[in-house]
Amino acid sequence: MTPLWDASRAAEIIAQYLPLEGPMLPILHALQEEFGYINDDSIRLVAQTLNVSRAEVYGVVSFYHDFRQAPHGRHVLKICRAEACQSMGSEANASKLLQSLGLDWGGTTPDGRLTVESVYCLGLCACAPSAMLDHDLHARLDEQGLKALAGEAV
């Protein structure tokens, strides 16, 4: 479980990365690691500390798919949607899984156990379709394999 937002802890994290050249990305990664996501308070504090606009920080957070702006489930299932996986049925498999869970992309189950996200390449193109549950890669997933993988988390 990730800790609740703490402005003084966030300020400590930001200070740790300030000496770096171009510290915004390392700061944002560290804040997300600590709190689980980048909230509006984080964006405001980073902008103020780096003397940039909140829009600039928000632009970075919203551009990179690995940054979250809301808490995620205890487990995160990332399903590859790149061309190799698409050609092997990943879109149909993912649609059926999302429908069975009652979720859209980026959604979290009501019990908070699983968030389903899309990614565009996990580097397993020769073993498509693929997905990643938390930090574990899984390849050659048919519809049943993907549902079983999601079931491990739910």
- Supply the mean pLDDT for the chain: 93
pLDDT value of position 151: 87
Same domain assignment for residues 54 and 81: no
110 lies in which domain range? Answer: 75-153
The pTM of the whole model exceeds 0.85? no
Same domain assignment for residues 49 and 111: no
Same domain assignment for residues 81 and 46: no
Same domain assignment for residues 44 and 89: no
Q: Count other Cβ atoms within 10 Å, centred on residue 122.
A: 21
Specify if 56 maps to a domain: yes
Same domain assignment for residues 58 and 83: no
Domain count, the chain: 2
Same domain assignment for residues 42 and 84: no
Specify if 1 maps to a domain: no
pLDDT for 154 beyond 70: no
Copy the structure tokens of residue 80.
């590859």
pLDDT tens, 13-72? 999 999 999 999 999 999 999 998 999 999 999 999 999 999 999 999 999 878 989 888
pLDDT tens, 5-21? 899 999 999 999 999 99
Copy the structure tokens of residue 32.
């997300």
Specify if 40 maps to a domain: yes
Specify if 2 maps to a domain: no
For residue 2, name the pLDDT band (cuts at 50, 70, 90): low
Strand 136-138 to 75-80 pairing: unpaired
Per-residue pLDDT, averaged over 77-103, amounts to 96
Cα angle, residue 126 at apex, residues 121 and 127 outer, rounded to 5°:
85
Same domain assignment for residues 116 and 146: yes
3-state secondary structure of 123: coil
Same domain assignment for residues 59 and 79: no
Per-residue pLDDT, averaged over 100-120, amounts to 93
Same domain assignment for residues 79 and 146: yes
Q: With the C-alpha atoms ordered 49, 54, 58, 60, is the resulting torsion angle positive or negative?
A: negative
